[in-house]
């Protein structure tokens, strides 16, 4: 700080501090505190706000336990509250998407970093970047076209005689998962690619020279080295999936519901902003818990992830 004043003077330093304070206080901290505070307030008509009924309670959070549905897990049937079910399905499917992205992207990352001809890598990266620049809503829309009952995928499969009647792809969470993987896979690919690129190729050759098989080279050398990249990719993909509103809205079926959709319903349909706050806070809590878990599993720091 002293150093800043010496270099840029008190005026400029003060301005910079003010800008940062505005960002962190007005755009981050106070809004989230407001969110937290609102989540404990009841939904009241305007005239009653601040009145005797406007007291703090956990009622908004309790709403997740309303209205149960029958759910089958591992062959056993339970009665589970709808919103709880949505909440856990969102987590479960986001984890699935994250794993799928990892499995699909890891070989590509390795290929780009260690197998492809270095001259063609910039061009390949550019080709990979193109879909990233196309907006999310259009990417989800593209899959909506492809997966339609009378869409190109079914026509192709029919004409190849692989199926004999059109398959309904947009059912349950299937299309949502396909769309999420497609939309977010590059957020997994690039951090892993960066991590593997920084691995000295001699390390791989040394292991091979000592007799290691391909699998073991990946297990013992490449994967441990790319841990920070994997952690960062996993966090990004999970966060984006769990927080996605577009993809589940466009590719969802009548039986699929994402937690963000529930929040949106409280907010825009029921106009109950306080319950929406409570639910948003749950989402935030879930995401924080997931990031902490990943950081603990991979033993990485937050600064390693955001790169």
Partner 1 sequence: MSAGIDLENVVCDFGSFRAVDHVNVSIKPGEFFSFLGPSGCGKTTILRMISGFTEPTQGVVRIGGVDVRGQRPNQRPTALIFQNLALFPLMTVAENIAFGLEVRGIDKAKRRARADELLRLVDLPGAADKYPSQLSGGQKQRVAIARALAVEPAVMLLDEPLSALDLKLRQHMRAELRAIQKRTGVTFIYITHDQGEALAMSDRVGVMSQGRIQQVADPREIYNNPVNGFVASFVGENNIFDGTVVNPAGGMASYETPLGTFRARLGELATGKGVKLFVRPEHTAISLTAAVENAVPVTISEVSFEGSFISVHGVAAGGKTLVAEIRNDGAATVPAIGSAAFMSFDPALGAILPDAETDR
Partner 2 sequence: MHKLRTTLSHLYMGAFLIYLIIPLVIMAGAAFNDSKLPSIVPWRGWTLRWFHDLFQDERMWTALFNTMVVALAVAVISIIIGTASAILINSISGRIRTVIYGLMISTILIPGAVIGISTLLMWNKIGVPPGLHLSVLGQVSYIAAMVMLLVLARLQTFDGALEEAALDLGASHGQVMRRILLPHLYPAIGAGGAVAFFQSIENFNVTQFTRGGADTLTVYVFSRVRSGITPTINALALIMITITLMAAVWYELSRRRKERIMLAGMSRDED
Tell me which residues touch partner 1 (CB under 8 A): 200, 202-203, 205-213, 216, 220-221, 224-225
Per CB under 8 A, the segment of 91-99, 168-176, 215-223, 246-254 that binds partner 2 is 246-254
| Pick 53 or 220: Cβ nearer partner 1 | 220
Residue 299 interaction partner, one of partner 1, partner 2, none, beta carbon < 5-8 Å per kind:
none
How far apart are CB 30 and partner 2 at their closest, in Å? 6
Of positions 152, 213, 224, 289, contacts partner 2 by CB under 8 A: 152
Residue 164 interaction partner, one of partner 1, partner 2, none, beta carbon < 5-8 Å per kind:
none
Residue 148 interaction partner, one of partner 2, partner 1, none, beta carbon < 5-8 Å per kind:
partner 2
| Pick 77 or 161: Cβ nearer partner 2 | 161
Instruction: With CA atoms as reference, report the closest residue to 193 among 108, 254, 305, 79.
Output: 108
Residues 165-184 that bind partner 2 (CB under 8 A): 182
| Pick 80 or 140: Cβ nearer partner 2 | 140
User: What's the 3-state SS for the chain?
Assistant: CHHHHHHHHHHHHHHHHHHHHHHHHHHHHHHHHHHHHHCCCCCCCHHHCCCCCCCCCCHHHHHHHCCEEEEEECCEEEEEEHHHHHHHHHHHHHHHHHHHHHHHHHHHHHHHHHHCCCCCHHHHHHHHHHHHHCCHHHHHHHHHHHHCCCCHHHHHHHHCCCCCCCCCCCCCCHHHHHHHHHHHHHHHHHHHHHHHHCCCHHHHHHHHHCCCCHHHHHHHHHHHHCHHHHHHHHHHHHHHHHHCCHHHHHHCCCCCCCHHHHHHHHHHHCCCHHHHHHHHHHHHHHHHHHHHHHHHHHCCCHHHHCC
Beta carbons of 197 and 125 less than 8 angstroms apart: no
Residues 189-228 that bind partner 2 (CB under 8 A): 214
Residues 269-288 that bind partner 2 (CB under 8 A): 273, 276-277, 280-281, 283-284, 287
Residue 212 interaction partner, one of partner 2, partner 1, none, beta carbon < 5-8 Å per kind:
partner 1
Residue 123 interaction partner, one of partner 1, partner 2, none, beta carbon < 5-8 Å per kind:
partner 2
| Pick 106 or 290: Cβ nearer partner 1 | 106
| Pick 73 or 126: Cβ nearer partner 2 | 126
Residue 303 interaction partner, one of partner 2, partner 1, none, beta carbon < 5-8 Å per kind:
partner 2
Of positions 96, 141, 166, 167, contacts partner 2 by CB under 8 A: 141
Per CB under 8 A, the segment of 3-11, 79-87, 91-99, 219-227 that binds partner 2 is 3-11
Query: How far apart, in whole angstroms, are the C-alpha atoms of residue 72 and residue 88?
Result: 13
| Pick 17 or 293: Cβ nearer partner 2 | 17
Query: How far apart, in whole angstroms, are the C-alpha atoms of residue 298 and residue 66?
Result: 37
């Amino acid at each position: 700080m002293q150093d800043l004043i010496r270099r840029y003077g008190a005026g400029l330093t003060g301005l910079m501090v003010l800008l940062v304070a505005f960002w962190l206080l007005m755009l981050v901290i106070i809004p989230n505190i407001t969110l937290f505070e609102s989540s404990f307030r009841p939904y009241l008509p305007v005239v009653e706000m601040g009145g005797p009924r406007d007291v703090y309670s956990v009622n908004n959070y309790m709403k997740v336990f309303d209205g149960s549905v029958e759910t089958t897990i591992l062959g056993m049937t339970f009665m589970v509250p709808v919103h709880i079910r949505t909440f856990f399905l969102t987590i479960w499917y986001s984890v699935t998407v994250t794993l799928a992205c990892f499995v699909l992207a890891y070989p590509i990352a390795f290929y780009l970093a260690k197998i492809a001809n270095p001259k063609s890598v910039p061009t390949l990266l550019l080709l990979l970047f193109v879909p990233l620049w196309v907006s999310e809503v259009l990417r989800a829309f593209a899959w909506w076209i492809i997966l339609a009952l009378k869409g190109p995928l079914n026509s192709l499969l029919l004409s190849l005689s692989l199926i004999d009647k059109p398959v309904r792809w947009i059912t349950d969470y299937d299309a949502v998962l396909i769309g999420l993987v497609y939309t977010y896979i590059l957020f997994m690919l690039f951090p892993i690619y960066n991590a593997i690129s920084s691995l000295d190729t001699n390390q791989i050759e040394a292991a091979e020279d000592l007799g290691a098989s391909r699998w073991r080279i990946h297990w013992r050398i490449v994967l441990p080295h790319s841990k920070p990249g994997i952690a960062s990719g996993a966090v990004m993909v999970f966060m984006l999936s769990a927080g996605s509103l577009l993809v589940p809205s466009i590719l969802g079926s009548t039986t699929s519901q994402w937690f963000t959709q529930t929040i949106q319903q409280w907010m825009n349909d029921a106009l109950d902003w306080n319950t929406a706050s409570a639910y948003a806070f749950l989402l935030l809590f879930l995401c924080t818990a997931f990031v902490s878990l990943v950081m603990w599993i991979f033993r990485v720091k937050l600064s390693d992830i955001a790169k």
